Amino acid sequence: MATGNIMAYLPVTHWNPYIRIHNRPKRGNFTVDWWVDTRFEPGHYAFISRIGACSLIGRSLKYRPRGRTGLFEWDDPTMPGDFIDQVEARILPVFSSLDTLEKTIAHLRAHQHNSFAEHPPWKTLMHVALGEIPAAQAEWRNVMHNYVPRTTLSDPSRNYVYDQWCLLTEPLMAGDRAALARLPHGWEAENTIGTNLEPYWRSTPFPLEHTHWGMVG
């Protein structure tokens, strides 16, 4: 599915791989990067979220004429073939390999360009989504004193997301899987309904809803 400068890999589920093109007409070229986002964090995302991992691709030596840059230049007749080749050889195999949430989270956890990889709320939520309740409780216990409901932040634009993260504490520390599952399902819906992605979205259960591991109080 393509809209504007975004080409989204379908279907859209708990995660959303996509290719983004940055056209720079004054320079006569464009750049290409690809992202893998998860869609079930709290936030206000008009189309694509920004909690994910990205990679930038450039021209390949196989196609690039001598003297050309590593950018995709519009007046280069070899550019379209190179672009298609790069997408098919370098991007689509990654996207198609991420066919479960478990694989997607493993990819995001290890990705060098995932700025949220060490963010405690993100780490906690990934454990929750996978049903790794003891690990989620251990991660959240270290920071939950920083997430107190009805706290007013210095940056008002962050209040909503902060308040949503605060909702993790009670069900997580109680080991209430049903209540925990409602949180990412709700956030995913908020991030998707009313956007161009909604017609392609499939709401499915989280691994959390299929696992029955022991709890840590």
Per-residue b/e over 197-208, b at no fewer than 16 CB within 10 Å?
beeebeeeebbb
- Asked if residue 11 has a cis previous peptide bond (ω within 30° of 0), the answer is yes
Give the number of other CB atoms < 10 A from CB of residue 129: 25
DSSP 145: G
Is residue 8 within 8 Å of residue 1, measured between CB atoms?
yes
Binned average pLDDT, 10 residues per bin, the chain of 217 residues? 85 92 90 88 58 68 68 88 89 93 92 81 96 97 91 78 94 97 96 91 95 46
Q: What is the model's pLDDT at position 54?
A: 63
